[in-house]
Amino acid sequence: MKNSICCLVVSLLGICGLSAKDDAPRGFQPISELAEAKAEAVEKKQLLVIAVKGADDDCPHCVAAMDSGEKAVGGGVVKVFARAEALNKADISGFPSALKARAAKKFTTGAWVEFLVFNSDGTKLLASSTRTELDGDSKAIAAFKKEVQEQKKAMKQ
């Protein structure tokens, strides 16, 4: 009896771990809700930001890059999260044109992070930054943040 309960607990923990790995971080919508996120961005006249991350959740550089990217884009944007591995296999035919063009080039998998900033309907890529830039390169982070801020101001005009 004890063995079967232990096996059940271990199985459930394993399943939860697998499903949690693809969950969007707090404040982000999953890529499966891209259409809703795009509609929200258009309605609120906000930028559409997509964070693409590889599956390596133990990479300290990726954690730092995600944190820097989130701080750089700030609030007042609609944020979407996608795993690079899943996005590379996804049917991109329904994606907005600028995301479709970027996704066709494939995303780096594993230990990688990329922030993509689009206009509200996703038809134009306005800014982007990668893990290399977002992991401790203060000048690159400041330049990305400045570009995002300028694009936010332009959206409000």
Per-residue pLDDT tens over the stretch 67-90: 999 999 999 999 999 999 999 999
Beta-bridge partner residues of 52: 82, 114
The order of strands in the sheet holding 125-130 is 29-30, 77-83, 47-53, 113-118, 125-130
Structural domains of the chain in order of their starting residue, each with its CATH number: 24-156 (3.40.30.10)
> What DSSP assignment string belongs to 21-54?
HTSPPTT-EEGGGHHHHHHHHHHHT-EEEEEEE-
As a whole-number percent, the residues of the chain with pLDDT over 70 amount to 86
∠ Cα 128 131 135 (to 5°): 115
∠ Cα 24 28 30 (to 5°): 50
Q: State in Å, rounded, how far the first CA of the chain is from the last one.
A: 67
pLDDT at residue 38 tops 70: yes
pLDDT at residue 18 tops 60: no
**pLDDT band at 1, cuts 50/70/90?**
low
Mean pLDDT of 31-55: 96
Q: Using H for helix, E for strand and C for coil, what is the string for 52-68?
A: EECCCCCCHHHHHHHHH
